Each structure stands twice: as C-alpha cells, then as structure tokens.
Structure 1
Amino acid sequence: METSDHPAAPAPGAATASGAPAPAPAPARRDAEATKAAIVRAARHLMARHAHADITLKAVAERAGVSAPLILKYFGNKDALFARIMSFEADAEALLDAPLPVLGHHMVHHLLTGQAEHGADPILRIVFAPLHREQGDTLRGNFRTQVVRRLGERLEGPDAGLRAELAVGTLLGLGVMYGIARGPHLRGTPVAEITERYAPTVQAFLTPP
C-alpha cells in the first residue's frame, strides 16, 4: 500500500501538534433550501415589475445571485418556477394560522411584519395579476381558492364567503398602502400600533354577526 508524505489533517476541533485547537472548517456554501428561497424571492420581485413573458431565467438568476442552470436544477424550467410563485398555498397556511377570535390581529401583524422585516408580502402579488395575461388568470384562481375560499370555510354564521372577501380586501388595502404606496405615516408608525388600530376592522368581518 502506498503511503502519503503529508500528515492527515486533524479532525475539526482536535488539537494540533502544538496543542492549539485545529481551525474550524470553512463555512459551507448556502444549502439547497436557502438557494431555492433566494430564487423564489427574486422571481417574486420581478413578477411584481414585469410581465411573465418578459421575465427570463437569466434575470431571475442575476437577481438571486445564482446561475441559470442552478434554477433548472431546482425547478426544472421557467413554467415550474412560476407555478410555485403563483401558488398561495404556503402563504395562506401561515396567514391563517391562528384561532378565529384573534385571526384578524394575526393576519394584520403577519402582513406588516412580512413587509417591514422581510420586504415580502404573503398575498400582495395578486394586485399584479393584470400584468401577466393568461398567467394572471391562474394567479387569480389560486388566490380565490387558496386564500379567500379557505378563509371562508373557517368562518361561522351567514354570508361567510362575502365576509371572507371583505376581510381579505381590507387586508389588501393595508398592504397596498404600506408596501406599494409606502405611506410615510404608516411606515413611520410601529407595526404593533398599526396592528392594534387596524385588526378590529378585519376581525369585524371574521366574527359572526
């Protein structure tokens, strides 16, 4: 058997010959989930500014700081990536994840913290549906089914579907003013204060009359 002229590297954390701890290994590259999340954020950013037909994988890749082939590796193709972007399933699960008596408070706080801390809104991309022609119809259909209808199925009392649409419409209005119009008074007010003021308006549609 051949032997190496170089000593084996010490295990991470093990002492070297001098008695000093071995240097820690270099940080690993972004894991797959972090990379996928960066790609999704980039695609959402572009979808809010350009028609679906005008967005290229190269543009998404440049925005995400990755290569276009990496997008193909994780999502397959542009259509598969945008099918993911046009789904509200995971967003709705987080948005509606609270008991009904405090759901209005949760929805308002979740929307505002997403905008203020992450620059991302769980439902606001529905307002860009007219940009995307046929894909806009998919976006609208997903929104109605995955967000509004899902909320309506949780509500008790009469007119549940109408009340769900009113609640979500009220929430969207806040999202537009905060995230798109960027109202200076709204953005200069703590999220907790806006939530306390605005949540009762949303909750009024959720609580049975």
Structure 2
Amino acid sequence: MTETDAPTTVRRGPGRPPSTHAQEAIRVAARRLFSAKSYGGVSVREVAAAAGVDPSLVIRHFGSKEALFLQTMTVDESFRGLVEGPLEELGRLILERLLTVRGGAAVSTYAALIGAIDRPEVRSYLEASADRHVVRPLAERLTGPDRHLRARLVATQVNGLLFDLRGRPDAGLAGRPTAEVLQVYARALQALIDDPTA
C-alpha cells in the first residue's frame, strides 16, 4: 500500500472517537443540543465537546454551524410519504402520522427550525421541504379546481399544527387530547382534499 493509498484517519487524543465515527458523534450531539436549545443557544465548541471531538472536526465535516444545523435538524423523514394513501381519508392519515408515529421527532425538530426561521437558509429549507413532500405530490393526486392552491393550504395547515405543538406541553393544541385534535383538524384538512365539485 502506498502512502496515497493509506486510509485517512485523523490523529486523536485519548478518549476521542476515531474519525470514522466522528461525523455520527457530531450529528447525534448536534441533534440533541439543537432540540434542547435554540440555534443561537448552541455553539460549535459545545457540539464538539458533547461529541468528544475537536471543534475543527465539526467544521471539517460540516463546513459551518448553519450547515450542521440544516443537516441534523431535518423534517424530511417525517414529511416523506405524508400524503400517500386513499384520498377519502387522507386528512386523518396525515394527522395520525404527524401526531402519533412520527410526532415526537417532527415536533421537536420543527420547533428547532422555527427558532431559526429568521435565517434565510432555514426558511428556504422549510418551504422546499413542504413543497417536495406535501404540495407537489398532493396537487398531482387531487381532482377538481385549484388543486395546487388546495395542496398548498394543506401544507400550511400542517405547518400551523406543528407550530402550535412546538410550544409548552400544556399550551395550545399540545394540551388537548390527541383524539380530539385528530377529529376536528382532520375534517378541516379533508375539506381541502375533497373535490369541491363532486
């Protein structure tokens, strides 16, 4: 094996993870810290300390704090496949997916993103994610007039629900029983999904 063929590993101090595990350690630490605090309340140095790596490794692997934030605080997994299923019961299905199976992760991640909404990159990411996972695939499936507008309004309703749930656990919708929220909110979503001319 020549010098150029040798695997690239970063020299590390005692107790620090090898470079092959450093990225994942940084991701886990960043996700936990950004979820617990705001974007502005977390520093690269703090993420590095929690991951057991040098701060320079955070920048080497992710480029910047903002890039790290956008790569770790993603709602794509929670939004993927959100609008799949029978149209006649899709309002209920969307909410069940958000409030039950995916709820905890979606709400805490969304809360962190909303906390950094003043950053143009974060705002663009949220808009693009909603468009990719909700608006476009739903508009293609809807029938009747104003399909794109109705799909956009469904995405707005989903964002509004996540926004309300991100607060204190005893406030807003977060303090209401899940079944009650599902029943009322599902009707509002379904009204947008159903063909108004049918």
1:30-69 equivalence runs, <5 A: 38-39=28-29, 41-42=31-32, 44-45=34-35, 49-51=38-40, 55-61=42-48, 65-69=50-54
Give the superposition deviation at 1:126.
Answer: 5.7
| 1:160–1:108 CA distance, 2 compared to 1 (3 A) | same
Question: Over the residues paired in the alignment, what is the CA RMSD in angstroms?
Answer: 3.7
Find the aligned partners of 2:83 and 2:72 in 1 and give their Cα distance.
19
Q: Distance in 1 between matches of 2:150 and 2:111?
A: 19
Unaligned runs of 5+ in 1: 1-31
- What residue ranges of structure 2 are gaps of 5+ in the alignment? 1-20
With structure 1 as the length reference, what TM-score do the two structures score?
Answer: 0.60
Report if the CA contact (8 A) 2:136-2:148 is conserved: yes
Q: How does 1:6-155 map to 2 (within 5 A)?
A: 38-39=28-29, 41-42=31-32, 44-45=34-35, 49-51=38-40, 55-61=42-48, 65-69=50-54, 72=57, 76-79=61-64, 80-85=67-72, 88-113=75-100, 114-115=102-103, 117-118=104-105, 120-121=107-108, 127-128=114-115, 130-132=117-119, 134-147=120-133, 148-155=135-142
- AA aligned to 2:122 is G
Once the two structures are superposed, residues 143-190 of structure 1 have per-residue CA deviations (whole angstroms, 9 ceiling, x without a partner) of 353233333233232211110111121222222222226554633432
CA distance in 2, matches of 1:103, 1:94: 11
Letter in 2 for 1:98: G
Distance 2:180 2:56 in 1: 40
Aligned equivalents of 1:99 and 1:198: distance in 2?
Answer: 17
Q: With structure 2 as the length reference, what TM-score do the two structures score?
A: 0.62
Identity %: 25
**Is 1:169 matched with 2:156?**
yes
Larger Rg: 1
Kindly provide the amino acid, as one letter, of the partner of residue 149 in structure 1. Answer: R
Q: Runs (4+) of structure 1 moved beyond 6 Å?
A: none
For 1:203 and 1:121, locate their aligned partners in 2 and report how far apart those are by CA, in whole Å.
25
Distance 1:38 1:192, change over 3 A: farther
Distance 1:144 1:185, change over 3 A: closer
TM-fit CA distance, 1:202: 0.9
Contact 2:111–2:163, Cα closer than 8 Å, also in 1: yes
Deviation by residue 1:26-72 (Cα, 9 ceiling, x = unmatched): xxxxxx798577346336427x7235xx753333345xx42245995
Find the aligned partners of 1:151 and 1:195 in 2 and give their Cα distance: 20
Letter paired with 2:38: R
